[in-house]
């Protein structure tokens, strides 16, 4: 197994489970299951036991491995020099399990759907670009940027609204961009996170080839998961593009007052997406946008930025739901944290987070107190306010 040489080095001190200031446990799967086996240290020790044939690949072991949201809290707070590779160890173990063909049915189904349909929803490719109908968003044809939407933004009804907001906003800001429409396919970030490295490589190479053929050099993503794949994983496969999350493009535009934002009175708390924040170190761009909106009060949650609590959707869990269910599921915990700030809007910058938190708000019966809006949707509201 890759990274096998470091699995014995975990002392299981447990710093990986916490926030940096220890205010709470911050590993989503540990927080839900509360057995040490579901913590990063637990996984390290159990992977070693599995490699040493002291335990078998069981349903429980699969749940332990695949309930990791790859949120990188452990990487952020582990005190050891191998901390950067913690999630890599878990992905390597998943890869071994995938290679052995012994994985949870939900993971198998996800991978199968991607393999057959190019998306997890089993939807036809020609439906991909339909979110853009009725907007001014154009097909890519040599513009400055490709706007890559991803599977969730292309097919999920809630996320499609975010895609439209992002598209409209970029157009409003005068950014030169286009989309691939039905030529877009899965970026593979979750495929990789679920351990199917062969399929990931196939998807990545397919995308790289298409991007190169079209002369694409700069990519704006709506989804931080795609941003992560393009920025960190594609270069190793020959795909060196300038990758940006859309908030990184919009933040300077908004700060320079190129978009005239009107007064929008609301209390908002920002939920950091793990693949934008901890994985890629971008905490400020979405905040700069929110702070630029007149009248908007931005309140931080106790667990924010490096200490943000994951919505539980990462690492493929958005699709497999291995980590979901029950009142201690991460999205419900996160919504309670957001509600405790007194905010009436949870701002997100990721369609997966949006959907996860939307679901949680309904389950927590907070529909009349709290709503989830993407940063782009909030800006659109500020644009649409009556003067």
Q: In this chain, which stretch among 74-82, 178-186, 190-198, 236-244 interacts with another protein, using CB under 8 A?
A: 74-82
Q: Which 303-332 residues touch another protein, going by CB under 8 A?
A: 326
Among 54, 84, 144, 367, binds another protein (CB under 8 A): 54
Q: In this chain, which stretch among 77-85, 157-165, 240-248, 273-281 interacts with another protein, using CB under 8 A?
A: 77-85
Q: Is residue 56 a contact point for another protein (CB under 8 A)?
A: yes
* CA atoms of 158 and 361, how far apart (whole Å): 14
State which residue, 9 or 265, has the beta carbon closest to another protein: 9
Do the beta carbons of residue 376 and residue 161 sit within 8 Å?
A: no
Do the beta carbons of residue 339 and residue 369 sit within 8 Å?
A: yes
Q: How far is the CB of 378 from another protein (least distance, A)?
A: 28
Binding mask 222-261 for another protein (x = CB under 8 A): ----------------------------------------
Q: Which 7-46 residues touch another protein, going by CB under 8 A?
A: 8-15, 17-19, 21-24, 33-37, 42, 45-46
Q: How far is the CB of 56 from another protein (least distance, A)?
A: 7
Sheet order of strands, 177-178 included: 177-178, 145-148, 218-221, 242-245
Q: Is residue 53 a contact point for another protein (CB under 8 A)?
A: no
Q: Which 106-165 residues touch another protein, going by CB under 8 A?
A: none
Q: Which residues contact 199 (CB under 8 A, 6 or more apart)?
A: 111, 114, 115, 188, 191
Do the beta carbons of residue 314 and residue 333 sit within 8 Å?
A: no
Do the beta carbons of residue 351 and residue 223 sit within 8 Å?
A: yes
Q: Is residue 61 a contact point for another protein (CB under 8 A)?
A: yes
Cα separation values, 222 from 57, 243, 275, 384, Å: 36, 11, 12, 21
Residues binding another protein: number (CB under 8 A):
37
Do the beta carbons of residue 172 and residue 260 sit within 8 Å?
A: no
* CA atoms of 138 and 52, how far apart (whole Å): 55
Q: How far is the CB of 379 from another protein (least distance, A)?
A: 32
Residues that bind another protein (CB under 8 A): 8-15, 17-19, 21-24, 33-37, 42, 45-46, 49, 54-56, 58, 60-61, 64, 79-82, 302, 326
């Amino acid at each position: 197994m890759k990274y096998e040489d470091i699995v014995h080095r975990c002392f299981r001190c447990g710093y990986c489970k916490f926030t940096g200031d220890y205010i709470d446990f911050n590993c989503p799967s540990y927080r839900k299951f509360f057995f040490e086996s579901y913590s990063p240290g637990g996984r390290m020790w159990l992977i070693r036991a599995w490699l040493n044939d002291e335990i078998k690949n069981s349903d429980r072991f699969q749940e332990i491995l695949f309930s990791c949201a790859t949120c990188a809290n452990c990487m952020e707070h582990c005190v050891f020099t191998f901390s950067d590779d913690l999630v890599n160890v878990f992905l390597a173990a998943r890869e071994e399990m995938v290679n052995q063909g012994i994985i949870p049915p939900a993971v198998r189904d996800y991978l199968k759907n991607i393999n057959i349909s190019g998306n997890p929803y089993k939807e036809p490719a020609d439906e991909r670009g339909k979110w853009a109908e009725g907007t001014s968003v154009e097909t890519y044809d040599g513009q400055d940027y490709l706007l890559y939407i991803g599977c969730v933004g292309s097919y999920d009804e809630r996320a499609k609204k975010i895609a439209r907001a992002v598209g409209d906003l970029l157009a409003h800001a005068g950014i030169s961009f286009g989309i691939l429409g039905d030529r877009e396919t899965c970026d593979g970030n979750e495929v990789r996170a679920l351990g199917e490295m062969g399929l990931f490589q196939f998807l990545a190479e397919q995308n790289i080839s298409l991007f190169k053929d079209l002369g694409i050099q700069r990519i704006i993503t709506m989804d931080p998961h795609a941003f992560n794949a393009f920025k960190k994983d594609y270069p190793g496969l020959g795909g060196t593009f300038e990758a940006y999350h859309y908030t990184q493009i919009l933040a300077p535009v908004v700060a320079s007052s190129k978009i005239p934002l009107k007064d929008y009175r609301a209390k908002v708390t920002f939920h950091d997406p793990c693949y934008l924040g901890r994985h890629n170190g971008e905490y400020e761009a979405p905040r700069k946008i929110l702070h630029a909106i007149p009248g908007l009060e931005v309140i931080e949650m106790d667990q924010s930025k490096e200490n943000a609590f994951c919505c539980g959707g990462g690492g493929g869990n958005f699709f497999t739901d291995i980590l979901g269910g029950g009142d201690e599921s991460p999205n419900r915990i996160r919504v309670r944290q957001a509600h405790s700030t007194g905010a009436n809007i949870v701002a997100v910058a990721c369609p997966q987070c949006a959907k996860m938190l939307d679901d949680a708000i309904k389950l927590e019966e907070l529909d009349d107190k709290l709503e989830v809006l993407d940063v782009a949707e909030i800006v659109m509201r500020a644009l649409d306010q009556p003067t």
